Amino acid sequence: MKSIHYSKSYKDYDHIAGFKKSFMTDSERTDCSARSFSWKIDNNPHTEGAVFTAHCDNALVGLAAVTPKTVMIKGQRVLAGEIGDTFTDKQYRRLGIFGSLVNMAKEECQEKGIEFIYGTPNDNSLPGYEKKLNFPVIRNLKVDYIVCPIRSALVLAEKLPFLKSIANPLGFACDLLFRLLHSVKGRKRTGYVTRKIDYIPEELEHLFQRISSDYDFILERSAKYLRWRFIAGPDVHYIFVSEDRSGKIAGYCILALGTWKNISVGYLMDYLIEGRDQEVFRGLLLEAIHYCKKNAVGMIAAWNARGSWHSNVFRNLGFLHFRDVPVICYDGGWGKTVLEENLKFYFTMSDAL
């Protein structure tokens, strides 16, 4: 019988980061360095996070983390915690390590006064959350992972290997269609100017305050949080805003560059638009797509709450459904409200670390 020891105060972030990176073989959407753990755990603007580890002898064999957030649920500010970074060494699976770490994380959240605990697990960990740990999928929140090919030949060769021999000519034809589509959509003129900036203005918080009441569930986007999330962290982000003639910001989107398999990807981390203005959103997306094209990115990816008004804009610009993103939460505290009531959700890629 292997003897497993658990810790909730392990601070060797270099060791933790190396362990996590050993599992990140297909994609890299966010930084996996020691700095990323120090940033989201120790320097979190909501309250200090926590890392939970399992060890056998001197080996690190299991990991989980809680990143505190603030979420607006039915107009109430609620301290939330995202459970993530749940990894278990293959040689130590089916020993209850995953469940023990998640339960430790849940108990830590409850001690800190965190009233809503959620996560976006992968296919491997989802069954364990649902069947054994009382973390059901939020059925009324359906999040689509959508992609828009920019260099289609690369995407086709990676996603459909049996088409590899004809990927280049087929990809060339697809790229022509997407360029034509984006050109046609880009001809529409509005009274707004879209530009790239390198800071988070206070106006983004004001934008959030004007929009948040439209949703029953939305993570808070204060200027302090946005600066921590997109400026202070280890990842580089590219911020685009849309302004009217008076300079008032009507919307923004934030992009990060990463990889999926061997393809460079532009990840649309966050977006927020006032007044359900499809022209403003279209202009922001086209600006992000143009930036990706200039930087030889293979495709652009985003998360979108299914059925939202944004879906139509994404679809008209050629975004395709890639897979579903399950969102789970603990069936306690505010989790019961989220699971049982038919709420209107807002959820983007930045809402998951």
Task: Please give the pLDDT value at position 314.
Answer: 96
Coil/strand/helix, residue 316:
helix
Q: What average pLDDT does the segment 162-188 reach?
A: 55
Q: For residue 165, is pLDDT > 90?
A: no
Task: Please give the pLDDT value at position 17.
Answer: 93
Q: For residue 220, is pLDDT > 90?
A: yes
Burial class (CB in 10 A: 0-12, 13-18, 19+), 227: middle
- Domain ranges in the chain are 4-137, 144-326
Q: Give pLDDT tens digits for 292-315.
A: 989 989 889 999 999 999 999 999
Task: Please give the pLDDT value at position 158.
Answer: 57
**Topology of 4-137 in CATH?**
Aminopeptidase (3.40.630)
Task: Please give the pLDDT value at position 30.
Answer: 72
Q: For residue 186, is pLDDT > 80?
A: no
184/58 Cα distance (integer angstroms): 60
Q: What average pLDDT does the segment 75-85 reach?
A: 97
Q: For residue 208, is pLDDT > 80?
A: yes
DSSP secondary structure of 131-145? HHSS--B-TT--EEE
Contacts of residue 136, defined as CB under 8 A and 6 or more positions apart, other chains included, come to: 130, 328, 329, 331, 339
Coil/strand/helix, residue 241:
strand
Q: How confident is the model at residue 140 (pLDDT cuts 50, 70, 90)?
A: very high
104/7 Cα distance (integer angstroms): 9
Q: What average pLDDT does the segment 156-166 reach?
A: 55
Q: What average pLDDT does the segment 60-70 reach?
A: 96
Q: What's CA 82's distance to the chain center, in Å?
A: 11
Q: What average pLDDT does the segment 313-329 reach?
A: 94
Q: Assess contact for 219 and 261: CB atoms under 8 A.
A: no
Q: Which of 18, 169, 2 is nearest to 97 (CA)?
A: 2
- Angle 186-190-195 from CA coordinates, rounded to 5°: 75
Written out in words, the top-level CATH class of the domain with range 144-326 is alpha beta
Q: Assess contact for 70 and 219: CB atoms under 8 A.
A: yes
Question: Do 4-137 and 144-326 agree at the fold level?
Answer: yes
Q: Which of 127, 81, 78, 129 is nearest to 105 (CA)?
A: 81
pLDDT: which is higher, 134 or 159 = 134
pLDDT: which is higher, 128 or 161 = 128
DSSP secondary structure of 167-213? HHHHHHHHHHHHHHHHHHHHT---S-EEEEESS--THHHHHHHHHGG
